């Protein structure tokens, strides 16, 4: 049995599902497969709205569900109100996911839906992901991991399905741009959001703007280094980011990589 058939069979075994939908590559593919496998009447998409979730992502989530005819609910979720979250501890993602999925469970109960599914994939097993502990504790299902689908396989299947997200940049909540232990504030989240939106609008594909105090550390793909350091582009980026509230602007010479903030955990032996 191939992985796609495995995924379909697993979804069929769940019956009706609430899909945690962020409009990213993985959750969009999962939502589409749930709709195609179970029928639109057996699928509910729920998206969390908060200051760490960019408005563009929420808009894309709403538009996709509208086009697909999928019922969609928005859940207000403010991470900064969670005790201990704003201090950005190592288990920040656990605190957020636990609170979020508890809210999703309440919605599922209201809707008479037994199972909640989320879009982590096989590659997520190889990084520091404390949020997956909350997923396990609360009994949330992970169909893409169950089917052992990798990110690249999900992109390829998404391309075959004609999903607009097949080549969309990978995304994680804006709180992941802060080093562990650095206080997360709504103001700084907005700074990061504006900086990343600027780079996306300028045509950069896979980006992160990591925040270190008043410094922005820009991660882009190495093949786009030359574009960023071109005089006009560089001067525009520096000018705008300082306008947004950053004092210093730097480019990471290693380039974009997933979970770069977790490198401090490895170096300090905390992983």
Spell out the per-residue pLDDT of the chain, length 271, in tens: 699 999 999 999 999 999 999 999 999 999 999 999 999 999 999 999 999 999 899 999 999 999 999 999 999 988 889 999 999 999 898 999 999 999 999 999 999 999 999 999 998 876 667 788 888 998 999 999 999 999 999 999 999 999 999 999 988 889 999 999 999 999 999 999 999 999 999 999 999 999 999 999 999 999 999 999 999 999 999 999 999 999 999 999 999 987 667 776 654 444 4
Q: How far apart are CA 239 and CA 62, in angstroms?
A: 33
pTM over 0.75: yes
Residue 128 · residue 271 · CB < 8 Å:
yes
pLDDT of residue 271: 40
Domain extents for the chain?
A: 3-160, 174-267
Q: How far apart are CA 124 and CA 64, in angstroms?
A: 24
CB-side neighbour CA atoms (13 Å) of 82: 22
Q: Which residue's structure tokens are 């509208």?
A: 66
Rounded alpha-carbon distances, angstroms, from residue 132 to 45, 47, 53, 86: 20, 18, 19, 20
pLDDT of residue 269: 47
Q: Which fold has domain 174-267?
A: Alpha-Beta Plaits (3.30.70)
Positive or negative torsion for Cα 171, 174, 175, 179: positive
Residue 48 · residue 137 · CB < 8 Å:
no
Sheet holding 115-117, edge to edge: 71-76, 43-49, 17-20, 115-117
Q: Specify the 3-state DSSP secondary structure of 43.
A: strand
Q: How far apart are CA 256 and CA 232, in angstroms?
A: 22
User: Quick count: other Cβ atoms within 10 Å of Cβ 105?
Assistant: 16
pLDDT digits (tens, 9 = 90+) for 92-129: 989 999 999 999 999 999 999 999 999 999 988 766 67
pLDDT of residue 77: 85
Residue 210 · residue 217 · CB < 8 Å:
yes
pLDDT of residue 127: 62
Looking at residue 169, what DSSP letter applies? P
Give the pair of three-digit tokens for residue 215: 């410094």
Q: Which fold has domain 3-160?
A: Rossmann fold (3.40.50)
Strands 215-220 and 248-251: parallel
pLDDT of residue 145: 94
Looking at residue 119, what DSSP letter applies? -
């Amino acid at each position: 049995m191939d992985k796609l058939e495995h995924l379909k069979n697993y979804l069929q075994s769940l019956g009706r599902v609430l899909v945690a939908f962020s409009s990213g590559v993985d959750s969009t593919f999962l939502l589409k497969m749930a709709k195609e496998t179970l029928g639109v009447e057996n699928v509910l998409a729920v998206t969390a709205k908060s200051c760490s979730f960019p408005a563009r992502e929420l808009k894309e989530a709403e538009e996709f569900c509208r086009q697909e005819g999928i019922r969609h609910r928005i859940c207000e979720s403010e991470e900064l109100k969670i005790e201990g979250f704003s201090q950005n501890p190592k288990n920040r993602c656990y605190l957020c996911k636990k609170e979020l999925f508890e809210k999703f469970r309440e919605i599922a109960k209201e809707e008479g839906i037994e199972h909640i599914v989320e879009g982590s994939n096989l590659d997520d097993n190889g990084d520091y992901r404390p949020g997956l502990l909350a997923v396990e504790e609360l009994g949330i299902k992970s169909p893409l991991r169950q089917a052992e689908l990798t990110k690249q396989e999900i992109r390829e299947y998404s391309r075959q399905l004609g999903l607009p997200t097949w080549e969309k940049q990978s995304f994680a909540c804006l709180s992941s741009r802060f080093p562990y232990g650095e206080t997360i504030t709504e103001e700084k989240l907005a700074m990061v959001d504006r900086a990343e939106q600027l780079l996306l609008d300028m045509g950069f594909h896979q980006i992160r703007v990591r925040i270190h105090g008043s410094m922005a550390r820009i991660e882009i793909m190495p093949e786009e280094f030359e574009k960023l350091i071109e005089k006009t582009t560089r001067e525009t980026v520096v000018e705008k980011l300082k306008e947004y509230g950053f004092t210093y602007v730097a480019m990471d010479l290693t380039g974009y990589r997933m979970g770069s903030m977790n490198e401090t955990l490895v170096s300090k032996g905390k992983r």
